[in-house]
Structure 1
Amino acid sequence: MSVYLDYNASAPVDGRVIDYMVEVYRNNIGNADSRTHNYGENARNIVEEARKKVASLIGVTADEVFFTSGATESNNIAIQGLREYAIETGRKHIVTTAIEHKAVLETVRALEKEGFVVDIVKPDLSGRVNADDILSKIKKETLLVSIMHVNNETGIIQPVKEIGEALQEKEVLFHIDATQSCGKLVDEIRELKYNMLSFSAHKLMGPQGIGVLVLKKKKYKLPPVKNIMYGGQQEKGIRPGTLPVALIAGCGKACEIAEDEYKKNNKIVFDIKKAIQKEIDESGISYTINGNQDFCVDNTINICFEGVSSEALMLSSKMFCGVSNGSACTSKSYSPSYVLVAMGVPEEQIECSIRISWGANTDIEEAIEGVKALLSTALQFSR
């Protein structure tokens, strides 16, 4: 029996979320923007209730929450949606990092072709970028700084708190991709200073196909973000298209559960990490963990088993556990992880690295058995 250990790619949907979504699908027909009958009003009420649940988890007001199809779209809106403002103000400089999700990196590179100037800062072997390196790039033409909270491949927490606080005194917009931290680092997110924040529901045991863009007000005004698609005035014109009521309901339910249970869940994933680390240490295999674990979330290990091809290991152990060796958006390509490359990890180490990630509903005994089988396979390859 195989155990799923690839939560950073997509977490399984919580059964309570599924039940609620099925109830909405079965009993709440109608378009949330239909205003001439009760069916539309009922759908709209479900959407607005979900919006409140998201806002409560993040620590913002409901009118700062906008629903999208996922973090990729949210990131695109946050960045591309500033195009008009950038042209009006002459601020066409963007600062980001080399370890961002492709939804950020490919978007800023597209803007480069339109005349924007982009500075991409690399981390060191710790997996963290230096906040001072980011802030040193700021100049009078700087429009935006976009930094992820937690890296999806390494689990390393980035210094978004320090960066956000420093940017408060500057006329620079700050966007945080919180896809891997939302629902986990709840207290931390609530204290962050930022203008825009993105996440996907499926990373916190909600449904795929729905996400959130938080646009925080400053002096009662939203950030100067415009829509990047056309076709309607849904979500105050920021994101046109018929609202997927059941998906939004599922997102709200997942956020409600996360808010209620995150402290308990954090303890569970911490215990799983300790158990996995113990199995690795006792296996006798030579290994290196990628990234400074002092700054790592408790549901992720990115590890190199020396001399063991990650591709061969994953193929040979997939009947025992499901792991990966990079971001899900690039996992079909067998090129080295661009995140580990940016960190300066040697190529031979990258080729032997895998990511193991889990959640609070992972059975610890099943996880241990899966990791034991993985380690046994790795040991065979290392001989």
Structure 2
Amino acid sequence: MKRVYLDYTATTPLDPEVFEAMKPYFLEKFGNPSSIHQFGQEVKVALEESRLSVASIINAVPGEITFTASGTESNNFALKGSAERLRKKGKTHIVTSPIEHHAVLEPCEYLRNHGFSVSYCEVDEWGKVSVDEVQRHLRDDTGLISVMHANNEVGTINSIAEIGLLAHERGILFHTDAVQTFGKLSIDTQTMNIDLLSISSHKIYGPKGIGALYIRRGTDVESLLHGGGQERGRRAGTEAVPLIIGFGKAAEIMKKRFEKDALHLTTIKQYLLSQLEELTAGSDFLLINGHPTESLPNIVNVSLNSKKIQIDSDALLLNMDLGGVAVTSGSACTSGSMEPSHVLLAMKRDEQTAKATLRFSFGRSTSHEDIDFAVSIFRSVIKRIGKMV
């Protein structure tokens, strides 16, 4: 049976070159990088080379990169770590948005239950956070703004540089979750006025279980883990060397392929949109979610308009999978949930429409033939289980 993978925002396959780069560090190069002998020091050198590879992508210096276990940990580290220092300064107000990944929303809720207040900016119909909306929520005690670079469900890109500038003009820390944009959009931490930035390896054809947090020099962040001096004292615990090597190699490959990949993804996205337009044949039973131009090149998020078509939202995803197409209804971290997407609800989609949603996301190996197959399955599923109103 033919199967097509269109869930690259959830994770990407490991690049074979990355796997080959990692292998020696599982076997003969097994030293602890904290050890002063040769076994440890040769590993330490390789680890720092990987740190440099990651830093170079975002115009940072290696010392500003702290390796973590995931993008989720990076977000928690950024929010909770900075919050503890901000509390001492009386800056106990956080500004964020309702469309953030749960790895930002839940730490914010945790902090709200521990003495902080949190304001949520409204988003427009495309899921975009405006600079004016952020400014509207600022207070004298605002210590942190956290707005994602681009949304992981609908792909809408936010005006990060402008929000960062606003934050810096007010002496406020600025964090952005760039897990989905790392490798797909150009990121410059200096010109974009970013203090804290979260990224992850497995979104760029690297291994799972390794992420990083960029911490601008001079930014005061308290460690969440104690018991060792690793990662310049920011994150205790022996480093996951093979994973870090893999992350570094994936970043190196991504840097070389950046323009090629961007062109390919954009071409595939435009082709999918044209096929979906043909599928609807002038009807508006299908809604495209996200900004029409300011969006990631690898995501197309579509909803079946509940005012035009009735469909069992659970059966929609199941039948796509049974037909051989791997897609999801939203974030991989919440795809098992029966609840409608919090992102789409924030964009004012009604609950039933928000539930009847598919996120197509593609990668380096996605072909026009893959899109043709996916759209044909989508068409047959709609015809079989959908009922026009």
Q: Residue in 2 aligned with 1:336? A: 340
The verdict on how the C-alpha distance between 1:245 and 1:108 changes in structure 2, with shifts beyond 3 A counting, is same
Determine if contact 2:184/2:297 at 8 Å carries over to the other structure: no
2:379 to 375, 379, 383: 375
How is 1:185-224 mapped onto 2 (pairs within 5 angstroms)?
A: 185-187=185-187, 191-217=191-217, 221=218, 223-224=219-220
Q: Compare 269-278 and 243-252 and name the one that shifted more.
A: 269-278
Shift of 1:189: 6.0
TM-score where L is the length of structure 2:
0.94
Partner of 1:22: 23
**How far apart, in 2, do the equivalents of 1:261 and 1:190 lie?**
23
Distance in 1, Cα, partners of 2:183 & 2:106: 26
Q: Identity of counterpart residues, as a percentage? A: 37
Residue 202 of structure 1: SS of its match in structure 2?
A: coil
Shift in CA distance, 324/123, structure 1 to aligned 2, threshold 3 Å: same
- Measured in 2, the distance between the counterparts of 1:309 and 1:292 equals 26
User: Which digits, 9 at most, give the CA deviation of each residue in 1:252-290, with x for residues without a partner?
Assistant: 111111111111100000111112112212223631111
The one-letter amino acid paired with 2:258 is: Y
Q: Output the amino acid matched with 2:240.
A: P
Query: Once the 2 structures are TM-superposed, how far is the Cα of residue 335 of structure 1 from its aligned partner?
Result: 0.6
Q: Structure 1 residues 54 and 300 mapped into 2: Cα distance closer, same or farther (>3 Å)?
A: same
The structure 1 residue matched to 2:256, chosen from 256, 260, 265, is 260
Size of the aligned set, in residue pairs, is: 378
Corresponding residue number in structure 2 for 1:67: 67
The answer to whether the Cα contact below 8 Å between 1:321 and 1:371 also exists between their aligned partners in 2 is no
Cα 1:261/1:189, change in 2 over 3 Å: farther
Counterparts of 2:365 and 2:250, CA distance in 1: 13
Please say if residues 310 and 325 of structure 1, whose CA atoms lie closer than 8 Å, have aligned partners that are also in contact. Answer: no
**1:4-27 CA-partner distances (Å, limit 9, x unpaired):** 111111111112111211233233
Change (3 A) 1:378 1:188: farther
- Structural mapping, 1:149-160, within 5 Å: 149-160=149-160
Q: Distance in 2 between matches of 1:282 and 1:381?
A: 20
The aligned residue for residue 313 of structure 2 is: 310
Residue 274 of structure 2 is matched in structure 1 by: 278
In the TM superposition, what is the alpha-carbon distance from 1:174 to its structure 2 partner? 0.2
State the match for 2:246 in structure 1: 250
In the alignment, does 2:45 pair up with 1:45? yes
Of stretches 208-217 and 276-285 in structure 1, the one that deviates more from structure 2 is 276-285
**Partners of 1:80 and 1:225 in 2: how far apart?**
8
Verify the 8 A CA contact 1:266 1:360 in the aligned structure 2: no
Structure 2 residue ranges without an equivalent (≥5): none
Per the alignment, do residues 110 and 367 of structure 1 end up closer, same or farther by CA in structure 2, a change over 3 Å counting? same
Distance between the aligned counterparts of 1:258 and 1:190, measured in 2?
A: 20
Larger mean CA deviation between 285-294 and 323-332 belongs to 285-294
- Measure the CA separation in 1 of the matches of 2:189 and 2:367: 27
Contact 1:94–1:118 (Cα < 8 Å) also in 2: yes
Distance in 2, Cα, partners of 1:188 & 1:64: 13
Confirm whether residue 290 of structure 1 aligns to residue 294 of structure 2. Answer: no
Match of 2:146 in 1: 146
Q: Partner of 2:207: helix, strand, or coil?
A: coil
**Post-superposition shift, 1:342?**
1.1
RMSD: 1.5
Provide, for residues 33-55 of structure 1, a one-character-per-residue CA deviation record: whole Å limited to 9, x for no partner: 111x1110111111100000001
| Aligned position for 2:231 | 235
SS at match of 1:33: coil
1:5 maps to amino acid = L
2:59–2:188 CA contact under 8 A, matched in 1: no
Output the amino acid matched with 1:110: Y
C-alpha distance 304-185 of structure 1, shift in aligned 2 (>3 A): same
Indicate if the aligned counterparts of 2:303 and 2:358 stay in contact, CA closer than 8 A. yes
Distance (whole Å) between structure 2 residues aligned to residue 190 and residue 173 of structure 1: 14
2: CA distance, partners of 1:191 / 1:6: 31
SS at match of 1:67: strand
CA distance in 2, matches of 1:187, 1:102: 22
**Partners of 2:301 and 2:360 within 8 A in 1:** yes
Question: Conserved in 2, the CA contact under 8 Å of 1:2 and 1:370?
Answer: no
Equivalent residue number for residue 181 of structure 1: 181
CA distance in 2, matches of 1:303, 1:18: 34
**CA displacement, residues 340-375 of structure 1 (integer Å, 9 cap, x when unaligned):** 111111122112211111112223322322232222
SS at match of 1:279: helix
Code of the aligned partner of 1:325: S
Residues 6-15 or 364-373, more deviating:
364-373
Shift of residue 311, structure 1, vs aligned partner: 2.0
Report if aligned partners of 1:310, 1:354 keep a CA contact under 8 Å in 2.
no
Q: Which amino acid aligns with 1:340?
A: L
Shift of 1:101: 0.9
- Counterpart CA distance in 1 for 2:277 and 2:267 is 15
Question: In structure 2, what is the Cα distance between the partners aligned to 1:271 and 1:263?
Answer: 12
CA deviation map 1:155-190 (0-9, x unaligned): 111121210122222210000100000011025667
Equivalent of 1:358 in 338, 355, 362: 362
Q: In the alignment, is the contact (CA less than 8 A) between 2:58 and 2:188 conserved in 1?
A: no
SS at match of 1:26: coil
Give the structure-1-normalised TM-score: 0.95
Q: Which amino acid aligns with 2:148?
A: M
